[in-house]
């Protein structure tokens, strides 16, 4: 599988200049990448966001929100991948044209449905990360400004391999 990826040499050092803080963790049913959904839309399972104590007051008013954008740090991803052949294609693409977790800054993004707001976090549906993945941020999803129905990824529409049937 390594020949399907182009890597940066040398691998990038973990930069300290961003000053990111993990505010919690995601508890999911998946401990192995092979069992984890490939995107959040494939996931009907519930997961638990558990916030560290100082960040729990930030949950106020989320009981009025139906969906959130969840930003995660994909801590088990390779950070030296700059191009790859996705599993559903036979053509190499730059990593910034894909949703691969393997990338210089492995930030995961998912739009998740809030099932329950708890004192220490959330129960959500629609996440695609491994159990224990560090949480960077939670933001409310605004359909009026976040949805882009005319957005497209041309290479994905023309990929060599069709997606498997869903459901």
Q: What is the mean pLDDT of the chain?
A: 88
pLDDT (tens digit, 9 = 90+) per residue, 88-114?
888 899 999 999 999 999 999 999 999
Which H/E stretch holds residue 165?
Answer: none
- What is the per-residue DSSP string for 2-13? GGGEEE-SSPPP
DSSP E strands: which ranges in 90-155? 93-94, 107-118, 121-125, 133-140
Apex 102 CA angle, 129 and 2, nearest 5: 120
Domain spans of the chain, in order of start: 68-142
Residue 33 confidence (pLDDT) above 90: no
Residue 157 confidence (pLDDT) above 90: no
Burial of 10 (0-12, 13-18, 19+ CB in 10 A): exposed
pTM listed for this prediction = 0.85
Residue 130, number of CB atoms within 10 A of its CB:
21
Structure-block tokens of residue 83: 């191009």
pLDDT at 12: 63
| Cα-only R_g, the chain | 17
Residue 11 confidence (pLDDT) above 70: no
Q: Whole-angstrom distance between the N-terminal and C-terminal Cα of the chain?
A: 28
Q: Which CATH number fits domain 68-142: 1.10.1760.20, 3.40.50.300, 3.40.50.1820, 2.40.30.70?
A: 2.40.30.70
Write b or e for each residue in 28-54: b if 16 or more Cβ atoms lie within 10 A of its Cβ, otherwise e: bebeeeeebbbebeebeebbbbebeee
pLDDT at 5: 81
Q: Whole-angstrom Cα distance, residue 69 to residue 112?
A: 6
């Amino acid at each position: 599988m390594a020949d399907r990826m182009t890597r940066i040499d040398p691998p990038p050092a973990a930069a300290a200049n961003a000053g990111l803080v993990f505010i919690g963790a995601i508890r999911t049913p998946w401990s192995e990448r092979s069992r984890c959904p490939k995107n959040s839309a494939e996931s009907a399972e519930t997961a638990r966001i558990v916030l560290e104590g100082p960040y729990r007051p930030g949950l106020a008013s989320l009981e009025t929100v139906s969906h959130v954008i969840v930003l995660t740090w994909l801590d088990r991803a390779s950070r030296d991948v700059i191009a790859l052949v996705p599993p559903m294609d036979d053509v190499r693409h730059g990593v910034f044209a894909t949703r691969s977790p393997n990338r210089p800054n492995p930030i995961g993004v998912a739009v998740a449905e809030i099932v329950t707001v708890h004192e220490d976090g959330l129960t959500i549906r629609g996440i695609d990360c491994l159990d224990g993945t560090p949480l960077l941020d939670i933001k409310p999803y605004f359909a009026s400004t976040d949805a882009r129905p005319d957005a497209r990824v041309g290479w994905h529409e023309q990929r060599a391999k069709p997606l498997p049937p869903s459901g």
